[in-house]
Amino acid sequence: MPEEELAKWRKKAVIFPPGRPPREYVELIARGMQRAREALTGDDYDLVILDEINVALSFELVAWSEVEELINIKAPGVELVLTGRGAPPELIEKADLVTEMREIKHYYTQGVMARRGIEN
C-alpha cells in the first residue's frame, strides 16, 4: 500500500505487518476463542455466530487450526455460523452451507459512518 494511502488510514484503522498483529489483539482474540469454545460445548446456546471470523483468519489474528477445532468440538445441537469475507478453501470444504453476499446499495457509500452496535 502506498505511503500516502497508509497515512490516510492510520487514524481510522490499525495497520500491522501481515502475521504480526498487536499483542493486545492476539490476547483479545484468545479470550474470544475461549468464550466461543465454552458456548459451543455448553448447553446454553443453540446458535453461536462468530461474526467476521473469516476476516480474522485472513489477517492471521486467528489460525485455521483454532477455527477448525471449534467446528469439531461443537455440541450436536448447536448451529455454528461463521461470517466475513474471504473464507479460506479449508472452511468452504468443511462447511455445510456457504453464502456469498453482494452489496447492492449501502448507506456507507453515502457518507454514513459505522454505527456502534450495528456495524461496529
pLDDT tens, position by position, 78-91 = 999 999 999 999 99
Note whether 92 and 98 are within 8 A (CB). yes
Locate all alpha helices (DSSP H) within the chain, ordered by sequence.
3-9, 23-41, 53-58, 64-73, 89-94
Q: What is the mean pLDDT of residues 100-107?
A: 86
pLDDT value of position 64: 96
pTM, two decimals, is 0.75
Domain ranges of the chain: 17-110
Distance spanning both ends of the chain, measured CA to CA: 24
The mean per-residue pLDDT over the stretch 72-83 comes to 96
The model's pLDDT over 16-47, given as tens digits with 9 standing for 90+, comes to 887 788 889 889 999 999 999 999 999 999 99
Quick check: 18 and 60 in contact, CB under 8 A?
Answer: yes
The CATH homologous superfamily for domain 17-110 is P-loop containing nucleotide triphosphate hydrolases (3.40.50.300)
Kind plus residue range of the DSSP H or E element containing 30: helix 23-41
Q: What is the separation of C-alpha 68 from the centre of its chain, rounded to a whole number of angstroms?
A: 14
